[in-house]
């Protein structure tokens, strides 16, 4: 990207780096090697987004990640009964902020985006994927489901494909993600960073208020429905799923590195 880059005050933390140039704010996940989203990192992501959403001069907000993995998802240890309410509140604050912004939101996915990492990517307006990227919601294999993916994937890929990904824990490659509409563009791995830079630079050359108004006109009718769906998914997750023995068995089995024994209750 061309132009002066600076670090916005008050939003850079231990696990998140922030930069800005030409009306584009970049939030980089920086907890290698897998960029697993623990509670502290989730808080930093939400704080970075709050600052970005509050800046009405931005044309775009871009998510990138350090290393070879975009994000392997939210730390399973933070799904347990004593932490799950706080985890959901903190994580989902980021998505409510994303849903509210008129800035174009872009995810640059260079490798695996799984679980909460996939949710973060596919909630963005544009997903730029390396051919090495993978997308998946494996939560059902540890006895839970992804509330944000349950909300956004039907909008992106249709109900049938969304059910398959969420209810069966499917992982797909970048080409399949592009075919079904989850990924907007797919670039060769060796060209990925340069192509993302080109894409972001092109956004930076546009009129920022025009970009924002064009997005608002496109998505405004859908925002209320998206947020209502997220609220319902949260209600099912916290009020029904977390009352199942299988949810607690699946999480315990993962943390104990054993195969879960499902009671189907």
Number of helical H runs and strand E runs in the chain: 9, 9
Class of domain 16-210: alpha beta
Q: What's the CA dihedral at 219, 210, 178, 68 to 10 degrees? A: -110
Q: Give percent of the chain with pLDDT exceeding 90.
A: 94
pLDDT of residue 13: 85
Note the pLDDT tens digit of each residue in 8-46: 544 568 999 999 999 999 999 999 999 999 999 999 999
Average pLDDT estimate for 48-69: 96
In this predicted structure, the answer to whether residue 3 has a pLDDT above a threshold of 50 is no
Beta-carbon contacts of 18 under 8 Å, excluding residues fewer than 6 positions away, are: 7, 8, 11, 12, 25, 26, 27, 28, 48, 51
pLDDT of residue 12: 67
Q: How far apart are CA 1 and CA 60, in angstroms?
A: 13
Note the pLDDT tens digit of each residue in 82-137: 999 999 999 999 999 999 999 999 999 999 999 999 999 999 999 999 999 999 99
* Beta-sheet pairing, 185-187 with 126-130: parallel
Q: 18 - beta bridge partners? A: 27
Average pLDDT estimate for 206-213: 98
245 — pLDDT class (breaks 50, 70, 90): very high
In this predicted structure, the answer to whether residue 260 has a pLDDT above a threshold of 90 is yes
Mean residue pLDDT across the chain: 95
Q: 90: closest CA among 143, 45, 125?
A: 45
């Amino acid at each position: 990207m061309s132009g002066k880059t600076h670090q916005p005050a008050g939003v850079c933390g231990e696990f998140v780096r922030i930069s800005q140039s030409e009306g584009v704010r970049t939030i980089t996940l920086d907890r290698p090697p897998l960029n697993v989203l623990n509670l502290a990192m989730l808080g930093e992501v939400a704080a970075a987004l709050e600052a970005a959403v509050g800046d009405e001069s931005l044309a775009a907000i871009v998510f990138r990640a350090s290393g070879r993995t975009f994000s392997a998802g939210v730390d399973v240890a933070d799904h347990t009964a004593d932490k799950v309410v706080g985890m959901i509140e903190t994580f989902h604050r980021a998505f409510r902020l994303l849903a509210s912004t008129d800035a174009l939101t872009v995810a640059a996915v260079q490798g695996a985006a799984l679980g909460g990492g996939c949710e973060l990517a596919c909630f963005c307006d544009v997903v730029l994927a390396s051919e090495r990227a993978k997308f998946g919601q494996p939560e059902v294999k540890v006895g839970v489901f992804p509330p944000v993916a349950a909300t956004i994937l039907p909008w992106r890929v249709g109900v049938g494909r969304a059910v398959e990904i969420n209810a069966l824990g499917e992982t797909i490659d970048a080409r399949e993600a592009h075919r079904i509409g989850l990924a907007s563009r797919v670039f060769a791995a060796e060209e990925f960073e340069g192509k993302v830079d080109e894409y972001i630079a092109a956004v930076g050359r546009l009129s920022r208020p025009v970009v924002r108004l064009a997005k608002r006109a496109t998505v405004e009718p859908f925002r209320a429905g998206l947020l209502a769906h997220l609220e319902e998914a949260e209600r099912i997750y916290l009020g029904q799923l977390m009352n199942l023995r299988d949810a607690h068995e699946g999480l315990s089995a993962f943390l104990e590195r054993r195969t879960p024994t499902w009671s189907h209750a």
